Amino acid sequence: MAAVLSFEISNPDKIANFVSECFEMGIKVLPPDVNKSSLKFAPERFETEEEAPNAIRYGLSAIKNVGEGAMEAAIAEREKNGPFVSLEDFAARLDNRAVNKKLMESMVKAGAFDYTGELRAVMFAKLEQVLASAASMQKDKKAGQGGLFDDFDLAQPKSKKNEPETPSIVWSADEVLAFEKELLGFYVSGHPLDSYRGHFDSSKHAKIAAIEEIDTKDKAQTISIAGIMSQLEVRYSKRDNRPFATCKFEDFTGQVEMMCWSDDYEKLKDVLADGAVLSLRVRVSKDQKTDGNRVTLNGATLLKPKAAKPRNATDPDPSEAPPPKPPAPPKPVVLKLNGTHDETDLERIHEVLIAHPGTLPVFLEISRGGHKARLELDESFRVTPGPDLRRALTVWL
């Protein structure tokens, strides 16, 4: 599936369709990550088989507005000098001629820097300042004015006195999803239809991706589809000034454009709206101009949330079911440091640990000069496990 997705890397509609296929097969498609992604789609790799999910990681060059050349350079830098510890570190370590503002904006919106723990909206707001600082540092370096530790300047935490005020900006969940759909071709953080997946399990509704394959050579076909109205535009005919609508409608597999002519629009206008989750009755007919299929909307009803059933779910006899296994004890958190890490890393780790107090032990595994030591931190640095902690410590886990 990673190979199939990589083959369709320049076709967002096909990507959305195959991501839906992955979901049905029990394969997760994970968002892009500058420290984990390959150039194209690739199976996710973990250190142990026990923690490895059935997952594919989104390729960096598949993000819209992100060039393949720039991402090849980013991956080469990451493999040579280690993971990027922050947005600032990424901008500082790559040639500013290749890493421009539009590229960085797209990567932030797509979630490629989420591992830093910073909100996407905050990172987006400070991009201009980050790129200006990186360009200035690189210019000084070329002029021979750089010092021994200049590579770490942008990653160093500033003192509270001199620290610029962090923009108090938050994107809504709808904005985050819209950016993901625009730049990745599908929703990563969630999907507006997640709570309606049960409606897509039955054969009652056809998949939008399959509409183009419907045979309309001899006669038109009437089918039902379910999804969300992503765009509704009301227009008025020149002849009698009656309203009609052009619509964009999508499900988990893709998007389709359709017309809703005046007679039908008058009947359906109370349920047709942007963002409405609907079951539609549509007529699929041959388009004489394009030789493809065209879709006309004839009926619509609102859908209520309906959870999906687990794939291949069965209901075993409780008396025959084996007793549940006791949950495995949580593993301690092990953070790996080597000679390339500095005080900045320790300060960042300190901030994360004290922000997640709990009972789970934390160890530092330090490698240097062929020697390795594992040190257990004081009880005051024990943590509570969770996705937020993992994301914030990804660089060192």
The gap between the terminal CA atoms of the chain, to the nearest Å, is: 28
Rounded-to-integer distance, Cα 120 and Cα 113, Å: 8
- Cα–Cα nearest to 111, from 195, 186, 15: 186
Q: Whats the size of the chain, residue-wise? A: 397
For residue 360, what are its two tokens?
């789970």
**Would you list the domain boundaries of the chain?**
2-184, 194-302, 333-392
Is residue 396 within 8 Å of residue 376, measured between CB atoms? no
pLDDT tens, residue by residue, 7-36: 988 887 788 888 888 887 888 888 999 999
pLDDT tens, residue by residue, 309-347: 655 544 444 444 455 555 556 788 898 887 667 777 788
Instruction: Return the pLDDT at 273.
Output: 92
pTM, two decimals, is 0.61
The angle formed by the CA atoms of residues 344, 350 and 354, to the nearest 5 degrees, is 155
pLDDT tens, residue by residue, 255-278: 899 999 999 999 999 999 988 999
**What's the chain's average pLDDT?**
83
Rounded-to-integer distance, Cα 158 and Cα 131, Å: 17
3-state SS assignment for residue 391: helix
Rounded-to-integer distance, Cα 12 and Cα 250, Å: 13
Instruction: Return the pLDDT at 101.
Output: 92
Burial 128-152 (b: 16+ CB within 10 A, else e): eebbebbbebbeeeeeeeeeeeebe
**Could you write out the DSSP letters of every residue in 194-222?**
GGGGGGGSSTTSB-GGGGGGS--SSS-EE
> What would the CATH number be for the domain defined by 194-302?
2.40.50.140
Instruction: Return the pLDDT at 330.
Output: 72
13 CB contacts (<8 Å, ≥6 apart)? 185, 254, 255
Residue 47 above 90 pLDDT?
Answer: no
| 362 phi, psi to nearest 5 deg | -125, 130
